[in-house]
Amino acid sequence: MVLSPTSLSLPIASSTIHILPYSDPPYKLLENHPSLHLLSKCRSIQDLKQVHSHIIKTGLHNTHFAISKLIECCAISPIGDLSYALSVFESIQEPNRFIWNTIIRGHSLSSNPMLAVEFYVRMILCGAEPNSYTFPFVLKSCAKVGATHEGKQVHAQVLKLGLECDAFVHTSLINMYAQNGELENARLVFDKSTLRDAVSFTALITGYAARGLMDDAHRLFDEIPVRDVVSWNAMIAGYAQCGWFEEALAFFEEMRKMNVPPNESTLVTVLSACAQSGSVELGNWVQSWIEDHHGLGSNLRLVNALIDMYSKCGDLETARGLFDGIHQRDVISWNVMIGGYTYMSCYKEALALFRLMLRSNIEPNDVTLLGVLPACASLGALDLGKWIHAYVDKNFQNITNSSLWTSLIDMYAKCGNIEAAEQVFDGMSSKSLASWNAMISGLGMHGHADKAIALFTKMVNEGLKPDDITFVGLLSACTHAGLLELGRQYFSSMIYDFNILPKLQHYGCMIDLLGRAGMFDEAETLMKNMEMEPDGAIWGSLLGACKVHKRVELGEHVAEHLFELEPENPGGYVLLSNIYAGACRWDDVARVRTRLNDKGLKKLPGCTSIEVDSVVHEFLVGDKEHPLSKDIYEMLEETDRLLEMAGFVPDTSEVLHDMDEEWKEGALSHHSEKLAIAFGLISTKPGTTIRIVKNLRVCGNCHSATKLISKIFNREIIARDRNRFHHFKDGSCSCKDYW
């Protein structure tokens, strides 16, 4: 809006009025003054400044009424500017109480609410007496920043002025104490007052719910004389915050039975609980209710919540349909859709949508990047990950939340650049436990067990207490390096030194470590002593150890446990078939494969991805769909020729079929990682590091071949398989052939 000179013109008589500094003419004259009427028509800070100029021109700036209206518009309205309001405020010699209250209120709504408390102190020192309108904003600010000490001082002032019986002040006191965890004081304020309305009940319920004391919250809820929608919301949100999503939804169902109409906050919380619990049926009902009562396109916040719910419940098609139907998406719309793709492991779709977001000139925020970085990590999209790192350095240097930096550590580690991960970690001024865990896990994944152990020792020495995730990373590092004795020591230390009860992941690491070392009796004893039943991953790791140590009979026994536990998982059948193939028991191989086919199960195809020039290319075994397929297979033939000249003999023992040796060698040469490496060789400059990501464990033949390829072509090849990283260089691998 542009205010024209004619719209600002006032009667000549008004311009001749001489107003003494801060002496207000009759209220009616000021209330209906055209200049003040223009304030309600402002649509931007530029409009406000124009009106302010005219207020100065007419002399109205010398009235408390006019200047208070201007400050109110600047400090509180969405189009205002608090810094501009403050500059106007500082020009007033003796602000009245309304102006003090307005500037305090503006700061209570700002990103730095503590300034509201500071202005309250200034107000007292200037001799202006606060009233019942002052304290709710000051107490709200104390609640926001956790300023309990200051809140208690404000409480004393409330008592001194006799305002504890004011309904708004009373509720604000309860809310301040409750939000700051001072539940005893909150309850004391509540119990000493006769003002026990739904609002004060709800304030106390919210405090109990925030601390997970849902039984206390429920008892208070039962005492409320008249329950409004806010009271129900407090209980539903409390259960959801505690992670008790089923209870939250049950409470919502009870609310529906009582015919209490939900509001926007109710529906957003319920949709979030549906997303976490997978209750898509109730989510469908919420969508229908929104369509019937508001219309689906009328509330972007609810549409965003629906997108989040459907995507996390696995219905990405409906979620994307809602997303595509939004005419004016905000950054949250993009975030929930990208996050939904990532949550459902649709990483390519997540990255494609992120690129569309950038092309649409929408600025990503930290939440966007927290959704995109795991997709980069899973696909090995290092170039995009580097771009995000540069974007973070430019735009989020002052961010206090360490989650973004932790995600960058995880991304670099999983994309094969462990050195960059260490640089990010070392550059963090304040490291969270999650950051230490990500770095320890990343080092272990790359086979740097010595560095992982040293980092763990440093972490403990700096006073950080490890958690169960720390020990998963530490034990995995021992497993990847074959450090049996150290693994035993850390497993014992976790239990007896840090009082952490082992979970399935910890037992899985130890049983894998023992199995690889051939300590099957000890592994069996550990499994029997577990507090829980071993899962498929544990039986699978033991079956893999049987394959390594050629324990056919034990492998058969372990496989039956695995088949019983996961009858639809083809991995166990494939492993057992490999064990038989290694022993040349082809009849048994055929029997297992027949059993596999009879169940309609198919072996998970090997898939390897490689990023070249910021584009991720994927290859399946025997893949010929790539546009450069002809060139890739020519390079593959050249590679095989050079391998043969170097004396490489393919290991055909793991090929499942009883076929001629020549055919077996052909099947091995077309594995997905060999195709990806061949593509890397023809698509990158000599000497460039090749990074690949495979969805399965690398086979022994490809591992041996890749070692030699790295020497023949003088390339470092970094490969991530299902379990760990392999750094191939100069004919050797970082895993030292132990994986």
Cα–Cα dist 545/469, whole Å = 24
Mean pLDDT, rounded, of the chain = 86
pLDDT of residue 53: 75
Q: Let me know: does 717 contact 710? Beta carbons within 8 Å.
A: yes
Per-residue HEC secondary structure of 353-410 comes to HHHHHHHCCCCCCHHHHHHHHHHHHHHCCHHHHHHHHHHHHHHCCCCCCCHHHHHHHH
Top-confidence range, 236-240, 375-379, 657-661: 375-379
Which tokens is 272 given?
Answer: 């979030």
Q: Write the secondary structure of 408-426 as one string of H (helix), E (strand) and C (coil).
A: HHHHHHHCCCHHHHHHHHH
Residue that wins the pLDDT comparison between 555 and 38: 555
| pLDDT value of position 661 | 36
Distances, alpha carbon 648 to alpha carbons 103, 639, 657, in Å: 79, 11, 22
The Cα–Cα gap between 412 and 373 comes to 9
Tens of pLDDT, residues 1-24: 333 333 333 333 334 344 445 455
* Distance from C-alpha of 395 to C-alpha of 400, rounded to nearest angstrom: 13
Stretch among 19-33, 399-413, 661-675, 702-716 having the lowest mean pLDDT: 19-33
Nearest 5°: CA angle at 545, between 539 and 547? 110
Whole-number pLDDT of residue 165: 82
d(CA 534, CA 566): 12
Over range 505-510, report the average pLDDT: 95
What are the angstrom distances between the C-alpha of 422 and each of 406, 409, 717? 11, 7, 20
Hunting for tokens 């649709």 — which residue is that?
346
Residue 559 has pLDDT above 70, yes or no: yes
Pairing of strands 717-720, 725-729: antiparallel
The number of beta carbons lying within 10 Å of the beta carbon of residue 266 is: 20
Domains of the chain: 404-599 (1.25.40.10), 607-733 (no CATH)
- Backbone torsions φ then ψ of 110, nearest 5 degrees: -85, 180
Position 413 pLDDT exceeds 70: yes
What sign has the CA pseudo-torsion 633, 639, 641, 647?
negative
Does 488 score more than 80 pLDDT?
yes
What are the DSSP E strand ranges found in 64-135?
Answer: none
More confident of the two residues 295 and 188:
188
- Per residue in 566-597, pLDDT (tens digit) is 988 888 898 899 899 888 898 999 899 888 88
